[in-house]
Amino acid sequence: MDPVTTSVTIARPREEVFAYLADMANHAEFTDHYLVDWRLTREDSVGYGAGARFRVKAPFARFAHADATLVELQEPHLIVERGRSGKFNRVLTRGVYELHNDGANGTRVRFTFETKPKFASDRIQEALGGTWWLRRKMARGLERLRSILEDGRGRGARPTVSGGPRKPGSAFTYKDR
């Protein structure tokens, strides 16, 4: 799929927006209208290597699970996430958040998403889903990001770590019989 780009201006400092986006658990709050069932892939959801697995609510999607991992962070202007989706996770994905100072208005956030299908069948599956659908959902997600950071409203639920919450070590001890 060709790269799909959307952008929004947020009336907050660039460092604050970067800190929010560098926490993978926050992504579920503003994308939960089309990315659902979020599960973090590790306990620390901030910074390089933080990732999540989720399900995409796309039309005609037979293989709807995907994942994303933060692979590059250049504070305070660039966040790159890579992942996989589709059948057997063979479709490579890449998302890039570019943050620019927008003078007195705050921060301009530009999100670009692209995929690299492996087979012709994967390209056909993406063509059925439609770039227009993805662009519309991404734009709504960035608008929700703006309302969360500016007004503190529209927050969704934060995801949990895969396998549920961690439990402390048990008090069970092995005894010689």
Tens digit of pLDDT for each residue in 20-66?
999 999 999 999 888 999 999 888 889 999 999 999 887 767 778 89
Question: Residue 174's pLDDT is what?
Answer: 54
For residue 165, tell me if it sits in a domain: no
For residue 113, tell me if it sits in a domain: yes
For residue 46, tell me if it sits in a domain: yes
Domain of residue 85 covers 4-160
For residue 47, tell me if it sits in a domain: yes
* Number of domains composing the chain: 1
Per-position DSSP letters for the chain, written without gaps between them? ---EEEEEEESS-HHHHHHHHTBHHHHHHHHTTTEEEEEESSS--BSTT-EEEEEE--TT-SS-EEEEEEEEEETTTEEEEEEEESGGG-EEEEEEEEEEE-GGG-EEEEEEEEEE-SSHHHHHHHHHH-HHHHHHHHHHHHHHHHHHHHHS-S--PPPEETTSS--PPPS------
CATH number at 155 reads 3.30.530.20
For residue 169, tell me if it sits in a domain: no
Tens digit of pLDDT for each residue in 100-159?
998 777 999 999 999 888 888 767 766 766 778 889 999 999 999 999 999 877 676 777
Tens digit of pLDDT for each residue in 86-109?
888 888 999 999 999 987 779 999
